[in-house]
Amino acid sequence: MKDKLNRNIDYLRLSITDRCNLRCKYCMGNKDIVFLPKDELLSSNEIERLVKIFSELGIKKLRITGGEPLVRRNFREIVENINNISGIEEINITTNGIRLEEELEFLSNKKIQSLNISLDTLKADLYRDITGGGDINKVLNSIHKAIALKFKRIKLNVVLVKGKNDSEIMDFVNLTEKYPIDVRFIELMPIGLGKEFLPISNDEVLSLISKERSLTPFNKRIGSGPAKYYKTEKGIGCIGFITPISHNFCEQCNRIRVTPEGFLKLCLHWSSGLNLKELLRNGSSNEKIKEKILQAINDKPDKHNMEKKEEDKNFDKRYMNRIGG
């Protein structure tokens, strides 16, 4: 699929739930969150049908997200169904890692190309504070088991918040020299509660690391995302930088999103898109749904506007768990 800017859209981020077993401060915090009723979520069969349609339109790579995808009761059924769709060449999963250890054996013989595990600190007490009570040992156990099972790529997603976890940057760098994992520093985005915290630009992070390590650009393609990777001299894994704010990469965007309630989002930041669930449930044929998707893709926004200070009625103001991360 091509949009009006001739960007090749071959990557779908599929959110299967808005629920989560953590309450991270920059995501949901301790707010009173009202989750979607279960019948508002796409069913397993609807997800399978939709992914087949997208695969026929050219989607080859799929990432399962949430909320926290592993809290959905029929998570395995959804993965199994997607795994059997011939056009999908790779499946990736983004998770907080709390329940990952118990799913790794099941996932080990699927089309899983990467496990992206959100981990913003290596300190147990700070982890409890950031996540609203999470147990870091469950995450660390999941990481070590994934390494033992030799998953193709294991990536730690680290969102840095000034004055909170920015003192641990080199601790995360050290992990890439000890284990075959990649650490990706992701700039905090001003979405939902993220607006209430101070971000750190990845230029600052790169400068800090460069004072202590010699970094070499790693130009081999890693995954489908926009991260730029480096290696230290002792690096087994890579250090990645995802810079949605300081260095906009929208001109290379190859992705679309489907939210838990079946809404096709063309950009993380904008509210425009297409109600796929309505089409699925009102008897629309696969060909009609394809036609509507192609029309929507052609209107994919040129870029986000997260750097703007003033609000716009077209910005998506929901928390990240509802958008699909």
Place of tokens 């030799």: 150
At residue 3, what is the residue type? D
The angle that helices 75-83 and 44-57 make with each other, rounded to 10 degrees, is 30
Find all residues with CB under 8 Å of 45, minimum gap 6, and list them: none
For residue 315, the one-letter residue type is F
Q: At what angle do helices 202-210 and 169-178 cross, to 10 degrees?
A: 60
| Listed residue (237, 236, 255) closest to 325, CA to CA | 255
**Residue 238 annotated as binding site:** no
* 28 marked among binding-site residues: no
The answer to whether the annotation marks 24 as part of a ligand binding site is yes
The pair of three-digit structure tokens given for residue 19, joined into one six-digit string:
């629920």
Beta bridge partners of 115: 93, 154
97 is in an annotated binding site: no
DSSP string over 55-82:
HHHT--EEEEESS-GGGSTTHHHHHHHH
155 is in an annotated binding site: yes
The helix/strand/coil state of 33 is coil
The rounded distance, in Å, linking the Cα atoms of 324 and 124 is 26
- SS3 state at 178: helix
Alpha-carbon radius of gyration of the chain: 19
235 marked as binding residue:
no
Tell me if 253 is assigned to a ligand binding site.
yes
Q: Is 221 annotated as a binding residue?
A: no
How many degrees, rounded to 5, is the angle at CA 265 between CA 264 and CA 270? 150
Number of neighbours of residue 73 by Cβ within 10 angstroms = 8
Please tell me whether 194 is known to bind a ligand. no
Known binding-site residues for GTP equal 13, 63, 94, 155, 255-257
Known binding-site residues for [4Fe-4S] cluster equal 20, 24, 27, 250, 253, 267
Known binding-site residues for S-adenosyl-L-methionine equal 26, 67, 118, 189
Known binding-site residues equal 13, 20, 24, 26-27, 63, 67, 94, 118, 155, 189, 250, 253, 255-257, 267
